[in-house]
Amino acid sequence: MQYLIDAAAGAIVGFSLGLIGGGGSILAVPLMVYAVGVSDPHRAIGTSALAVSANAIAGLLSHARLGTVRWRTAGLFAAVGVVGAWVGSLAGKALAGPKLLACFAGLMLVVAGVMLRSSRASGPPEPPPREPSMPRLALLGALTGAVSGFFGIGGGFLIVPALMYGAQLPILDAVGSALVAVAAFGLTTAVNYARSDWIDWPLAAVFIGGGALGSIAGTRLARHLSAMQRVLHRLYASAVFLCALYVLYRSASSSS
């Protein structure tokens, strides 16, 4: 039964990613803890980080075929960000489980706010008229990598705007290039957690399989609901917000 729930949780994450394009992996850890039943938050983060990395690699292959990956820019961003992800994951491992979940809930509230704000915008923001800066790009890579590593998430909602403003990439190229960093950060975090035996490998494999199927279904449905993308983003952001409140409630209950 646990593996069936795990597959369903992976399908939910994959479906949301395919349907709205980003932010879906933020639900992976809460689903691992409260639906699948992984009692240790650190093991949930390590397992979901591995799943996020695998899903990002699958998406990267598709974008590479479309020619929307700027390999040089993405490589520099990811290479520096891996260092940040390693440091961030060490900090996450050192934090007590309930406190880590409470911090994760705070991040979810931020993601929900960003998604609600972007759903009201008339279109994706254009990069400012300035030349790309390698030092600025490296700094943004290190910072986003640290956040991704600390929480064990893909961090696409941070990486895409960082590439748009740091490297002056158009939105489609930023999305494709961001997957290089998402895969690298997730794998780095997973390796760090694996060193402490905080990855449930069978659960990760089932979650990845469910995510692949859900992504296919979500992508197909997105083609038919393209005119409703703003509404979908708002509904998803509301779900993330409610999930964050639930995580905060459970964290407070366990610490009291």
Out of 28-37, 63-72, 223-232, 235-244, pick the least confident: 223-232
Amino acid 129: pLDDT: 46
Q: What's the mean per-residue pLDDT of the chain? A: 81
The residue whose two tokens read 């390698």 is: 134
From its phi and psi, is residue 37 left (phi > 0), alpha (psi between -120 and 50) or beta?
left
Out of 148-152, 225-229, 248-252, pick the least confident: 225-229
Amino acid 100: pLDDT: 79
If you average pLDDT over residues 27-42, what whole number do you get?
87
The full set of domain ranges for the chain reads 2-255
Amino acid 27: pLDDT: 80
**177: exposed, middle or buried (Cβ count in 10 Å: 0-12, 13-18, 19+):** buried
Burial per residue of 140-174, b for 16 or more beta-carbon CB atoms within 10 angstroms, e otherwise: bbbbbbbbbbbbbbbbbbbbbbbbbbbbbbebebb
If you average pLDDT over residues 94-103, what whole number do you get?
80
Q: How far apart are alpha carbons 132 and 118 in whole angstroms?
A: 24
Amino acid 232: pLDDT: 66
- pLDDT band of residue 159 (cuts 50, 70, 90) is confident
If you average pLDDT over residues 71-77, what whole number do you get?
92
Amino acid 195: pLDDT: 93
If you average pLDDT over residues 34-50, what whole number do you get?
90
Of 164 and 44, the one with more pLDDT:
44
From its phi and psi, is residue 168 left (phi > 0), alpha (psi between -120 and 50) or beta?
left
Integer CA distances (angstroms), 163 to 21, 47, 102, in order: 16, 27, 28
pLDDT in tens, 172-228: 788 788 889 988 998 999 999 999 999 999 999 999 999 888 877 876 775 666 566
Amino acid 187: pLDDT: 92
Other CB atoms within 10 A of residue 90 CB: 13
Closest CA to 221 of 46, 213, 95: 213
**Residue 85 contacts by C-beta under 8 Å, 6 or more apart in sequence?**
145, 146, 148, 149, 184, 185, 188, 189
pTM confidence score: 0.77
From its phi and psi, is residue 130 left (phi > 0), alpha (psi between -120 and 50) or beta?
beta
Closest CA to 250 of 126, 139, 104, 127: 104
The yes-or-no verdict on residue 82 having pLDDT over 90 is yes
pLDDT in tens, 100-142: 778 888 877 887 787 677 656 555 555 454 556 788 888 999 9
Amino acid 256: pLDDT: 59
Amino acid 77: pLDDT: 94
